[in-house]
Amino acid sequence: MLQLAGHDDEDGHEHATGSGSGSGSWSKAPDFAADPQRAAAVREASARDRERYLTAGLVPVDCRFCHATVSVKKLGPGHTAVQWNSAATQRCATFAELRATGGDSSRSRACPRLADSIKHAVAEGCLEEVCSAPPPGDG
């Protein structure tokens, strides 16, 4: 028989899951409510980790055609990570053409003009062919 709620041991007793505080809430990590300095240090370290995870190895690249600026990281010869922002999406000439014809630029895989600009940035040495930044989450 499959039981969908709770967790029964072999002895048939249900065990509560949670933080053990008796509040009925569940958390993966303690909140350090009793130690405000430690809580602040954890928040600060978490913010640094989040920023590193989101930006590690990204380099700003300008499109040579429309001058939209995006963040780029080359992960290998066949894989390029591109982070678009709202300003770049609005400025991109290819996406503007798509929108003008009733298309949805968010459904487009890429901008060929920007792809050429990324190749140019690699050729000029402004962007590494394979990013040497340590991967996020390694400590």
Residue 8 or 27, more confident: 27
Q: How confident is the model at residue 70 (pLDDT cuts 50, 70, 90)?
A: very high
CB 131 within 8 A of CB 74: yes
Mean pLDDT, to the nearest integer, of 5-33? 57
Domain boundaries, the chain: 59-124
What percentage of the chain exceeds 90 in pLDDT? 45
Q: How confident is the model at residue 5 (pLDDT cuts 50, 70, 90)?
A: low
Task: Name the least confident of 8-17, 39-48, 55-64.
Answer: 8-17
Q: Which residue, among 70, 59, 61, has the nearest Cα to 132 in the 3D structure?
A: 59
Neighbours of 118 (CB within 10 A): 23
98-109 b/e (C-beta count within 10 Å ≥ 16 → b): beeeeeebeeee
pLDDT of residue 116 exceeding 90? yes
Mean pLDDT, to the nearest integer, of 47-70? 90
- Cα–Cα distance for residue pair 49/57, rounded to 1 Å: 14
Residue 4: the pLDDT is 53
Residue 131: the pLDDT is 87
pLDDT of residue 118 exceeding 90? yes
